[in-house]
Copies of this chain bind each other. A is one copy, B any other.
Amino acid sequence: MTTPLGSGREWTDPSCPVARTADLVGDRWSLLIVRDAMDGASTFTDFQQRLGIARNILTDRLRKLVDQGVLTTSTLPGGKRHSYELTAAGQDLFTVIVALRQWGERHAFADGESHSTLVDHDGNALSPLRPENRKGNPVTAATTRVRKTPH
């Protein structure tokens, strides 16, 4: 990587990678725009119809995601409409989106309540993401700690 995302901006908590990510994509609409871009949405109309979001908010979030390097935009033939695509860094948010999805499946739906499912080519759901240490053992908040940067 040459220039990191968000370079030059003010960060809420500059030394924390969680906080930098939250600054870049940590709002409801940005996360859902990324979700829909992964699912094939590419034009303003695509996002607007899927999200039912106010046009001025969508305009603002798309602009920010482009400015921050999560989306890239190009002009469609005809010169008026724009296409939005995830950058490589944006594509790499797949793990974040899957983590949000799996948590929602576990905690925000009643037993038997129907919800959309992310499936592979065979139509099967994914395995649950599981944080592990380098030895392959599962870890939790209770078995890990945050090591601050050296001063």
| Chain B residues with CB below 8 A from A39, complex form | 141, 145-146
| Chain B residues with CB below 8 A from A144, complex form | 118-120, 126
Give Cα A3 to B107, complex, Å: 9
Residue of B nearest to A13 (CB): B32
How many copies the complex holds: the figure is 2
Residue of B nearest to A110 (CB): B4
A-B pairs, 8 with minimum CB distance: A17-B104, A38-B141, A21-B104, A20-B108, A99-B99, A26-B28, A120-B133, A114-B149
Q: Which residues of A contact B (CB under 8 A)?
A: 1, 3-7, 12-13, 15-24, 26-28, 31-32, 35, 38-39, 51-52, 69, 86, 89, 91-111, 113-127, 129-134, 136, 139-150
